[in-house]
Structure 1
Amino acid sequence: MKSPLQCVVHGAGTDWQAICLDLDIAAQATSLDDVTRILREAVRSYIYDAMAQDPAARDVLCSRSVPLHVRAAWVSRSFVAKWFGRCLSSGGQETALSFAIELPASTASSTRSS
Protein backbone atom coordinates (compact mmCIF):
# COMPACT_ATOMS: atom_id res chain seq x y z
CA MET A 1 0.00 0.00 0.00
CA LYS A 2 1.33 3.39 -0.88
CA SER A 3 1.84 6.05 1.73
CA PRO A 4 0.66 8.73 2.04
CA LEU A 5 -2.89 8.02 0.98
CA GLN A 6 -4.45 10.67 -1.26
CA CYS A 7 -7.66 12.22 0.05
CA VAL A 8 -9.92 15.07 -1.02
CA VAL A 9 -12.58 17.12 0.71
CA HIS A 10 -15.32 19.24 -0.81
CA GLY A 11 -18.05 21.38 0.66
CA ALA A 12 -19.34 24.64 2.05
CA GLY A 13 -21.16 25.76 5.16
CA THR A 14 -22.48 22.67 6.96
CA ASP A 15 -22.28 20.20 4.06
CA TRP A 16 -18.86 18.53 3.70
CA GLN A 17 -17.77 15.29 2.01
CA ALA A 18 -14.36 13.66 1.95
CA ILE A 19 -13.01 10.56 0.28
CA CYS A 20 -9.79 8.58 0.45
CA LEU A 21 -9.09 8.00 -3.24
CA ASP A 22 -6.66 5.15 -2.55
CA LEU A 23 -9.06 3.04 -0.45
CA ASP A 24 -12.52 4.22 -1.60
CA ILE A 25 -13.59 5.23 1.89
CA ALA A 26 -15.83 8.27 2.29
CA ALA A 27 -17.12 10.48 5.11
CA GLN A 28 -19.66 13.25 5.49
CA ALA A 29 -19.94 15.87 8.23
CA THR A 30 -21.02 19.42 9.00
CA SER A 31 -17.56 21.04 9.10
CA LEU A 32 -14.20 20.74 7.39
CA ASP A 33 -12.47 19.77 10.62
CA ASP A 34 -15.06 17.09 11.42
CA VAL A 35 -15.06 15.51 7.96
CA THR A 36 -11.25 15.26 7.82
CA ARG A 37 -11.14 13.83 11.36
CA ILE A 38 -13.88 11.31 10.60
CA LEU A 39 -12.21 10.20 7.36
CA ARG A 40 -8.82 9.81 9.09
CA GLU A 41 -10.46 7.67 11.79
CA ALA A 42 -12.33 5.57 9.22
CA VAL A 43 -9.17 4.97 7.17
CA ARG A 44 -7.12 4.04 10.23
CA SER A 45 -9.84 1.69 11.47
CA TYR A 46 -10.15 0.07 8.04
CA ILE A 47 -6.39 -0.45 7.78
CA TYR A 48 -6.22 -1.83 11.31
CA ASP A 49 -8.95 -4.36 10.49
CA ALA A 50 -7.40 -5.20 7.10
CA MET A 51 -4.01 -5.85 8.71
CA ALA A 52 -5.63 -8.46 10.97
CA GLN A 53 -6.61 -10.55 7.93
CA ASP A 54 -4.56 -13.25 6.23
CA PRO A 55 -2.08 -11.93 3.61
CA ALA A 56 -4.27 -12.70 0.58
CA ALA A 57 -7.32 -10.94 2.02
CA ARG A 58 -5.17 -8.07 3.29
CA ASP A 59 -3.75 -7.50 -0.20
CA VAL A 60 -7.24 -7.32 -1.68
CA LEU A 61 -8.54 -5.01 1.04
CA CYS A 62 -5.54 -2.67 0.85
CA SER A 63 -5.43 -2.38 -2.93
CA ARG A 64 -8.91 -1.12 -3.68
CA SER A 65 -9.26 2.43 -4.91
CA VAL A 66 -11.97 4.59 -6.37
CA PRO A 67 -12.79 4.13 -10.07
CA LEU A 68 -10.81 6.33 -12.43
CA HIS A 69 -13.78 8.57 -13.27
CA VAL A 70 -14.37 9.29 -9.57
CA ARG A 71 -10.68 10.11 -9.06
CA ALA A 72 -10.72 12.40 -12.11
CA ALA A 73 -13.83 14.23 -10.88
CA TRP A 74 -12.34 14.88 -7.44
CA VAL A 75 -8.96 15.90 -8.80
CA SER A 76 -10.61 18.32 -11.21
CA ARG A 77 -12.68 19.84 -8.38
CA SER A 78 -9.51 20.41 -6.37
CA PHE A 79 -7.72 21.88 -9.38
CA VAL A 80 -10.57 24.26 -10.23
CA ALA A 81 -10.87 25.43 -6.63
CA LYS A 82 -7.14 26.14 -6.44
CA TRP A 83 -7.07 27.70 -9.91
CA PHE A 84 -9.80 30.18 -9.07
CA GLY A 85 -8.29 30.90 -5.66
CA ARG A 86 -11.21 29.87 -3.51
CA CYS A 87 -10.40 29.84 0.18
CA LEU A 88 -12.14 28.69 3.33
CA SER A 89 -13.22 32.22 4.22
CA SER A 90 -14.92 32.75 0.86
CA GLY A 91 -18.35 33.50 2.28
CA GLY A 92 -19.98 30.11 1.79
CA GLN A 93 -18.55 29.30 -1.63
CA GLU A 94 -17.77 25.68 -2.25
CA THR A 95 -14.24 24.64 -1.43
CA ALA A 96 -12.27 21.63 -2.64
CA LEU A 97 -9.01 20.65 -0.98
CA SER A 98 -6.68 17.68 -1.05
CA PHE A 99 -4.80 16.21 1.88
CA ALA A 100 -2.80 13.14 2.73
CA ILE A 101 -3.08 10.50 5.41
CA GLU A 102 0.31 9.15 6.43
CA LEU A 103 0.52 5.49 7.35
CA PRO A 104 2.80 4.08 10.01
CA ALA A 105 5.91 2.61 8.38
CA SER A 106 5.04 -0.89 9.61
CA THR A 107 1.62 -0.72 7.95
CA ALA A 108 2.88 0.61 4.62
CA SER A 109 5.62 -2.00 4.41
CA SER A 110 3.33 -4.89 5.41
CA THR A 111 1.29 -4.73 2.24
CA ARG A 112 2.19 -4.82 -1.42
CA SER A 113 2.16 -1.64 -3.48
CA SER A 114 -0.94 -1.29 -5.61
Structure 2
Amino acid sequence: MKIVPLRCYVEQQDGYWQAGCIDLDIFADGSTCEDAKAALHDALESFFQTLNTLPVKDQRRLLRRKSPLSVRIEYALKHFYYYVLRQGGGRGRQDFISDGTCLA
Protein backbone atom coordinates (compact mmCIF):
# COMPACT_ATOMS: atom_id res chain seq x y z
CA MET A 1 0.00 0.00 0.00
CA LYS A 2 1.35 3.40 -0.99
CA ILE A 3 1.16 6.16 1.63
CA VAL A 4 0.56 9.64 0.24
CA PRO A 5 0.50 12.75 2.44
CA LEU A 6 -2.64 14.87 2.15
CA ARG A 7 -2.64 18.67 2.19
CA CYS A 8 -5.13 19.79 4.81
CA TYR A 9 -5.70 23.03 6.68
CA VAL A 10 -7.83 24.60 9.39
CA GLU A 11 -8.75 28.28 9.47
CA GLN A 12 -11.19 30.58 11.16
CA GLN A 13 -13.87 32.21 9.00
CA ASP A 14 -16.67 34.47 10.22
CA GLY A 15 -16.83 33.06 13.75
CA TYR A 16 -16.47 29.37 12.93
CA TRP A 17 -13.60 27.09 11.96
CA GLN A 18 -13.30 25.36 8.61
CA ALA A 19 -11.04 22.39 7.95
CA GLY A 20 -10.34 21.12 4.48
CA CYS A 21 -8.41 18.54 2.55
CA ILE A 22 -7.60 20.13 -0.78
CA ASP A 23 -6.31 16.88 -2.26
CA LEU A 24 -9.68 15.13 -1.91
CA ASP A 25 -12.07 18.13 -1.87
CA ILE A 26 -13.43 17.22 1.56
CA PHE A 27 -14.34 19.96 4.05
CA ALA A 28 -15.82 20.16 7.53
CA ASP A 29 -16.41 22.86 10.09
CA GLY A 30 -16.70 23.30 13.83
CA SER A 31 -17.10 25.89 16.55
CA THR A 32 -13.45 25.51 17.58
CA CYS A 33 -10.24 24.61 15.81
CA GLU A 34 -10.19 21.21 17.49
CA ASP A 35 -13.84 20.56 16.56
CA ALA A 36 -13.13 21.35 12.91
CA LYS A 37 -10.05 19.10 12.86
CA ALA A 38 -12.01 16.26 14.45
CA ALA A 39 -14.87 16.72 11.97
CA LEU A 40 -12.42 16.62 9.05
CA HIS A 41 -10.78 13.51 10.48
CA ASP A 42 -14.20 11.84 10.74
CA ALA A 43 -15.13 12.91 7.19
CA LEU A 44 -11.85 11.55 5.81
CA GLU A 45 -12.25 8.30 7.72
CA SER A 46 -15.78 7.87 6.37
CA PHE A 47 -14.58 8.68 2.84
CA PHE A 48 -11.88 5.99 2.96
CA GLN A 49 -14.20 3.41 4.51
CA THR A 50 -16.74 4.01 1.74
CA LEU A 51 -14.00 4.04 -0.88
CA ASN A 52 -12.99 0.50 0.11
CA THR A 53 -16.47 -0.77 -0.77
CA LEU A 54 -16.38 0.57 -4.35
CA PRO A 55 -15.04 -0.97 -7.55
CA VAL A 56 -11.42 -0.08 -8.35
CA LYS A 57 -12.48 2.12 -11.28
CA ASP A 58 -14.60 4.30 -8.97
CA GLN A 59 -11.88 4.34 -6.31
CA ARG A 60 -9.36 5.74 -8.81
CA ARG A 61 -11.82 8.37 -10.00
CA LEU A 62 -12.56 9.58 -6.48
CA LEU A 63 -8.91 9.60 -5.44
CA ARG A 64 -8.08 11.88 -8.38
CA ARG A 65 -10.76 14.38 -7.39
CA LYS A 66 -9.22 17.75 -6.46
CA SER A 67 -10.57 20.92 -4.93
CA PRO A 68 -11.38 23.77 -7.32
CA LEU A 69 -8.36 25.64 -8.66
CA SER A 70 -9.25 28.75 -6.64
CA VAL A 71 -9.08 26.74 -3.39
CA ARG A 72 -5.74 25.21 -4.34
CA ILE A 73 -4.30 28.63 -5.26
CA GLU A 74 -5.50 30.16 -1.98
CA TYR A 75 -3.94 27.28 -0.06
CA ALA A 76 -0.64 27.68 -1.94
CA LEU A 77 -0.54 31.43 -1.28
CA LYS A 78 -1.21 30.98 2.44
CA HIS A 79 1.36 28.20 2.62
CA PHE A 80 3.91 30.41 0.85
CA TYR A 81 3.06 33.39 3.10
CA TYR A 82 3.55 31.30 6.22
CA TYR A 83 6.90 29.84 5.21
CA VAL A 84 8.35 33.07 3.81
CA LEU A 85 7.48 34.99 6.98
CA ARG A 86 8.57 32.12 9.18
CA GLN A 87 12.03 32.32 7.66
CA GLY A 88 12.11 36.04 8.52
CA GLY A 89 12.94 35.82 12.22
CA GLY A 90 10.08 33.58 13.31
CA ARG A 91 7.47 36.36 13.21
CA GLY A 92 5.58 34.69 10.38
CA ARG A 93 4.02 31.90 12.35
CA GLN A 94 2.50 34.24 14.90
CA ASP A 95 1.28 36.58 12.15
CA PHE A 96 -0.29 33.67 10.30
CA ILE A 97 -1.97 32.32 13.44
CA SER A 98 -3.35 35.76 14.29
CA ASP A 99 -4.89 35.83 10.80
CA GLY A 100 -7.20 33.06 12.02
CA THR A 101 -5.32 29.93 11.07
CA CYS A 102 -4.90 27.08 13.53
CA LEU A 103 -1.54 25.40 13.04
CA ALA A 104 -1.68 22.46 15.38
Q: Is the 8 A contact 2:33 2:102 kept in 1?
A: no
1:85 to 92, 96, 101: 92
Ranges in structure 1 where 5+ consecutive residues have no aligned partner? 100-114
Q: Distance in 2 between matches of 1:79 and 1:96?
A: 14
The answer for the alignment partner of 2:12 in structure 1 is 11
Q: Point out the structure with the larger strand share.
A: 1
| Secondary structure of 1:49's aligned partner | helix
Percent identity for Structure 1 against Structure 2:
27
Which AA in structure 2 matches 1:95? Answer: G
Which AA in structure 2 matches 1:85? Answer: G
Which AA in structure 2 matches 1:6? Answer: R
For residues 27-51 of structure 1, the C-alpha deviation after alignment (integer angstroms, 9 at most, x for no partner) is 1111111111110110111011011
Q: Distance in 2 between matches of 1:58 and 1:98?
A: 30
**Residue 98 and residue 54 in structure 1: after superposition, are their counterparts in 2 closer, same or farther (change >3 A)?**
farther
Matches within 5 A, 1:31-50: 31-50=32-51
Ranges in structure 2 where 5+ consecutive residues have no aligned partner? 86-90
Q: Distance in 2 between matches of 1:30 and 1:40?
A: 15
**Residue 33 and residue 67 in structure 1: after superposition, are their counterparts in 2 closer, same or farther (change >3 A)?**
same
| Deviation of 1:97 (Å) | 5.0
**Residue 87 and residue 95 in structure 1: after superposition, are their counterparts in 2 closer, same or farther (change >3 A)?**
farther
Number of residue pairs matched?
96
Q: Distance in 2 between matches of 1:67 and 1:2?
A: 23
| TM-score, normalisation: structure 2 | 0.74
Which AA in structure 1 matches 2:55? Answer: D
| TM-score, normalisation: structure 1 | 0.68
The answer for the alignment partner of 1:72 in structure 2 is 73
